[in-house]
Structure 1
Amino acid sequence: MAQQPEGPRAERGAETHVGTRSLDAPTLAEDLLLLLFQPDSGTIAGENTLSYVLAGAVLADLAAGEHISAAPSRMGFLNVEAVERRAPTDRILRSAWDYVAARPRGVQTVLAAIGPTLREPLLERLLTRRDLRQESRTTLGLFKTTVIVEGGNGRRARILSDVREVLAGGAEPTPRSAALSALLWGSGTLPQFDPTIPWTSEVIARAQELERGNWGAGAAAEAVTRTMTAIIAGSVLVAAAARPQG
């Protein structure tokens, strides 16, 4: 039996908190989960690989905030390691940062370790923020069920529009929209967004460019973020492809 990866450790209190976002601001993983929510069916696209994809978004967020960096291992592979005294303030990001801070680890190891616990707390945040809401329905006049529906505040539509403009409209991506686009491609769910995001050879080529970290000219300061996001998105793609479907 394959050994299961060690999970994230409890939070430590010694590091200085220098998170770059307000506690009230949505994380990249929240935006990705909201984007993957399918209003017509009330389901989340790509449930089979969701843990890897959400974990990739958490790592991409940590990279964008300069909380983690990439370092070569003794075997020549790339590990991710925590940047000292750069612990994020967000609790979900902090838990992942603590896990990486214990020692440098391979991206695939981190994805497998932190991903399984992410769906529920992220979904709870979307419900609390009213991006999504729960609705009671009666089936066959007898059975009451609770379903999740879109919250009606328009945030999912705005995120989807941004990603569509990047993938299909030729818009210059921000680090956030580039990461969302790359992770959406890596998740294998992009065809499910057709026709809003048309499933064409041009869109596929654009998504692959973003997954490789080719975002356009951009600012020199974004080079590290592009590199880290490319490493993470590529690892998500490999993990998603290797995951049994069904």
Structure 2
Amino acid sequence: MTPETHGSDGLLIVEDLALLLADDASGTPAGAATLHYSLGGALLVELALLGRVEAEEGSWRSRTTLRAIGDGPLPDPLLQEAYDAIAEKPRAVSSILLTIGSGLWEPLVDRLVERGLLEQKKSRFLGIFPTTSHPATDDPYEPALRARVASVLEGEDPDDPRTAGLVALISASGTLPSLHPQPRWSGTVHDRGKEFEKGDWGAKATAAAVTRATTAVTAGSIAAAIAAATTATR
């Protein structure tokens, strides 16, 4: 399996994101406290790529709303559930992220186990308490995906809008330092991640304006929500 195979016939963006956020040894996610925002954002970006959501900018960024567009069934139950939730009524992006992103981690881990990208290990802590971990397998898909994301952050233009959207989501979630292998960290890498959050993807990653707009709005909402959560816990 290679990163080029993902999409409607392979992994969703949200599955790629979950795989990147999962610790290779334990499967514990980076950024767990605000994970629902990041995972919900990945579903929104995928729906935008499919032409099924549209952003409507309000007077304040936080009040930007999304509405469902198009018709017909979607290729994956997770996408369909997210679309149906958005279709109920136009809502602020921050509200949508919470609605569609909550409770996603466990189903995503199950999917990744089924795909052979994570394994499930049961053991007992101190020989008494049952525990379950989900370490990475030796499938080459994840290392190739991580290397691809790192190369984009280090300056290479993404070949497709899916990778661009993934980079934007990772940057907005504040989990860039958890990537392995880590990109050659510098102010340039940080700034490049912020460019992707704004929908500035370079010449190769061509996509409809609605996709860029939705990604920018989503990334902005994720970053704002995480900043607010971080401030509240201090």
Shorter-chain TM-score range: 0.7 to 0.9
Question: 1:66 maps to what in 2?
Answer: 51
Q: Does 1:25 align with 2:10?
A: yes
Structure 1 counterpart of 2:165: 179
Question: For 2:120, what is the secondary structure of its paired residue?
Answer: strand
Q: CA 1:69 to 1:216, structure 2 compared with 1: closer, same or farther past 3 Å?
A: same
CA contact (8 A) 2:26 2:133 kept: no
In structure 1, what is the Cα distance between the partners aligned to 2:54 and 2:136?
Answer: 36
Q: Is the 8 A contact 1:178 1:210 kept in 2?
A: yes
Deviation at 1:139, TM superposition (A): 4.5
Aligned residues: 225
Verify: 1:108 aligned to 2:94, yes or no.
yes
After superposition, the C-alpha distances for 1:20-66 in whole angstroms (9 at most, x for unaligned) are x54x5211101000000111444211101111000000001000111
CA RMSD of the aligned region, Å?
A: 2.4
Correspondences of 1:235-246 after superposition (within 5 Å): 235-244=221-230, 245=233
Contact residue 37 and residue 45 of structure 1 kept, 8 A: yes
1:207 corresponds in structure 2 to 193
Contact map agreement 1:190 1:199 (CA 8 A) in 2: no
Partner of residue 139, structure 2: 153
Q: State whether residues 107 and 232 of structure 1, in contact with CA within 8 Å, keep that contact through their aligned partners in structure 2.
A: yes
Residue 43, structure 1, aligned to residue 43, structure 2: no
Specify every segment of 5 or more residues in structure 1 that has no aligned partner in the other structure, as ranges: 1-20
* Structure 2 CA distance for aligned equivalents of residues 148 and 220 of structure 1: 35
C-alpha separation in 2, matches of 1:138 and 1:189: 30
Taking the aligned partners of 1:36 and 1:75, their CA distance within structure 2 comes to 30
CA contact (8 A) 1:38 1:44 kept: yes
- TM-score, structure 2 normalization: 0.87
The farther-off stretch of 132-141 and 44-53 is 132-141
Q: How much has 1:146 moved relative to structure 2?
A: 2.6
Task: Report the Cα offset of residue 187 of structure 1.
Answer: 0.8
Deviation of the 1:68 alpha carbon: 0.7
Equivalent residue for 1:57? 42
1:72 shift after superposition: 4.1
Consecutive unaligned residues in structure 2, runs of 5 or more: 1-6
Instruction: Kindly report which structure 2 residues correspond to 1:66-105, keeping only aligned pairs within 5 A, or say none.
Output: 66-72=51-57, 77-105=63-91
Q: Specify the SS of the correspondent of 2:208.
A: helix
Closer/same/farther in 2, CA of residues 195 and 30 from structure 1, 3 Å limit: closer
Secondary structure class of the residue paired with 2:135: strand
Larger Rg: 1
Question: CA–CA distance in 2 between the matches of 1:204 and 1:135?
Answer: 35
